[in-house]
A and B are shown apart, each in its own frame.
Chain A
Amino acid sequence: MTQQLKGIGASPGLAIAKAIVLSTETYIPERSAVEQPELELQRFRNAVREAREEIERIRAAAEEKLGSEKAEIFEGHLLILEDPDLIDVIEDKIREEAVNAEYALYEVSQSFIETLSQMEDELLRERAADIRDICGRVMNRLRGIEGGDLSQLTDECIIIAEDLTPSDTAQLNLEAVRGFVTEIGSRTSHSAIMARSLDIPAIVGVGPDLRNIEAGALVVMDASEGILAVDPSPEELALFKEKKAKYDRRKAELAQWASRPTITADGQRIEIAANIGQLEDVQKALDNGAEGIGLFRTEFLYMGRSELPTEEEQFNSYKYVLEKMAGKPVVIRTLDIGGDKELPYLDLPKESNPFLGQRALRLCLERQDVFRTQLRALLRASRYGNLKIMFPMIAVLDELLEAKRILEEEKRQLTASGVEVSDSIEVGMMIEVPSAAISADIFAKEVDFFSIGTNDLIQYTMAADRMNETVSYLYQPCHPSILRLIRSVVEAARQEGKWVGVCGEMAGDLTAIPLLLGLGVQELSMSAGSILPARELVGQLSRNEWETLSGQSLAMRGQQEVQSFVQDHRRGV
């Protein structure tokens, strides 16, 4: 009978194969007295040595398969095997209590595992898995059990397990393993992260129902949706096979676009960049062929902590991204706090309308200590790549001029004190307040670029809180009023020879892209996952043609009309 299960899609993809069930039972040794503790100690030390040799072998294999960054986990494992509070304590226990090594190992390691699995921090909870992994290895050696060697799997299979340890994941024979499903875990578990870098489908956190799957049962999994089915009927299987073939074809098709430049059907070059919100996102942006970072949200540096980040901490993060992007443009937005993002430690007064309150640059101009620290970190990092600085939430010219004045002041001071600062940093602003969009011609003389933050521009133009579901129907990126604002911003920039990008959700929206292209936007910045489909679409569009079509859309009565107009014409392409 078909059984459907649901979990968290940790690494996308589809797979069909027989289940291999990894035994999840934990071995609980009995306490027994030993007559010669010295011999028992020797046995324990041998087991540790063998485990160490095993990990070294796995580490070498992981380095080859996953790269040195991922193999670092195993360096950590080796350190655990030298930890005095683990190893010395176990040895003392064997010596002083004259107990068997298995029991001593179990008791000492279990106390660490229990403490760590109750920690609030998810990353610390994940460390419990490392200890279980490593101590399980020593335990197997003590018991003379050959650990299930996943590198020996040769038949196509989907692995079903309570959890996969990092060493399990690194040993997977990718020729055979089609995917894996685990009972526990989250998107940030080791195994989930590894699945993404190995590019194999994975579903985690399915829960105890997973135990019902028997070894050898046929499993189909769709990790993009986080669902799997056991023993599908012939009809279901046929449907699924079709879906999988389609998915695989599409994936291969899209992958070709990662290394190509973004060029319209009529040969015009535009730039597709990625929005990032944390350092890990940079690699994903590069993997998806981002031609730059169009929006680096710096809030992550400030959130989830109890004090402001230091200049040094910020400098290191900015430098990392700039170096990693190796000369490609990186637009870093200065702190955008306020609205729905709070920083409790700044102790700001409660506002009744935070989205209309002291947000982003408004706050930075007031709290200049915070602002100046960030600017100094940015300026110091500027020599490591192609940095562009962007100010958010500007409504009137004086705000921009004041921000630029402070930036210049910090730059002068740094240079005077001998710090090298790049002399080609572009300075731009977000267009998200309607007043700035309407007087873009005035702002254009004072900046190097504009980036249109459509989420906020729509919210403020429509006077509709984007957190309020009852008015969510007013979130209309393709409404002519929004398109007209975008057009006037592009026109104003063009007069001054400046460039315009779009960095809101709209930039990755396949219905909006033809219009943005037609309106003359030069850069689209979106989440990494949207890049390849967007680049493929741009390649099919003629900018010339869409210049005319987008012009026509400005005179339409509403978003619906614009959207069907775009779809009709895209079908015609």
Chain B
Amino acid sequence: MQAASQYPCKVNVINKGKKVNGKSSLSMLTLGIAAQDEVTLEIDGEQEEEAMKTLGDLLVQIHE
């Protein structure tokens, strides 16, 4: 979440059909993500490619 906040673009995280603001740790909690769940990142705006790479890598790391 702190990593997501560094980017000016919008970051959404989707898990089991529910979409929330990836910059909010409270909203992320309500997704109830468990280890090995498949989540989708939706990023839109400035620096979106860079954000996708950093945050994508981060999610994978957390899971390992």
Contacts and interface: CB of A to CB of B under 8 A. Distances in A.
A124 B23 contact: no
Interface in B25-63: 25-27, 29-30, 32, 34-36
Contacts of A115: 30
A79 B25 contact: yes
Interface string A441-467: 000000000000000000000000000
A310 B64 contact: yes
A85 B35 contact: no
A306 interface: yes
Interface of A is mostly: helix
A85 B29 contact: no
A469 interface: no
A116 B29 contact: yes
B32 A124 contact: yes
Given A115-B30, A116-B29, A310-B64, A83 B24 contact: yes
Contact of A120 (B5, B23, B32): B32
Contacts of B34: 121, 305-306
Contact of A305 (B21, B30, B35): B35
Contacts of B21: 84-85
B20 interface: yes
Given A86-B26, A119-B32, A131-B26, 16 more contacts: A80-B26, A83-B24, A84-B24, A85-B20, A85-B24, A112-B30, A119-B30, A124-B29, A124-B32, A127-B29, A305-B34, A305-B36, A306-B35, A306-B36, A307-B36, A313-B64
A85 B27 contact: yes
Interface in A74-119: 79-80, 83-86, 112, 115-116, 119
Contacts of B35: 305-307
A313 B21 CA distance: 28
A73 B47 CA distance: 33
Contacts of A313: 64
29 contacts: A79-B25, A80-B25, A80-B26, A83-B24, A83-B26, A83-B27, A85-B21, A85-B26, A85-B27, A86-B24, A86-B26, A112-B26, A116-B29, A116-B30, A119-B30, A119-B32, A121-B32, A124-B29, A127-B29, A131-B26, A305-B34, A305-B35, A305-B36, A306-B34, A306-B35, A307-B35, A307-B36, A310-B64, A313-B64
Interface in A303-323: 305-307, 310, 312-313
Contacts of A305: 34-36
Interface of B: 5, 20-21, 23-27, 29-30, 32, 34-36, 64
**Sorted from nearest, which 4 A-B pairs have the closest CB atoms?**
A85-B24, A85-B27, A307-B36, A115-B30
Contacts of B25: 79-80, 83
Nearest to A121: B32
Contacts of A116: 29-30
Interface in A97-156: 112, 115-116, 119-121, 124, 127, 131
Contacts of B20: 85
Contacts of B64: 310, 312-313
Nearest to B27: A85
B35 to A, nearest CB: 5
Nearest to B20: A85
A430 B30 CA distance: 44
A72 to B, nearest CB: 14
Contacts of B23: 84-85
Contacts of B32: 119-121, 124
Nearest to B35: A305
A67 B15 CA distance: 36
Contacts of A83: 24-27
A536 B29 CA distance: 47
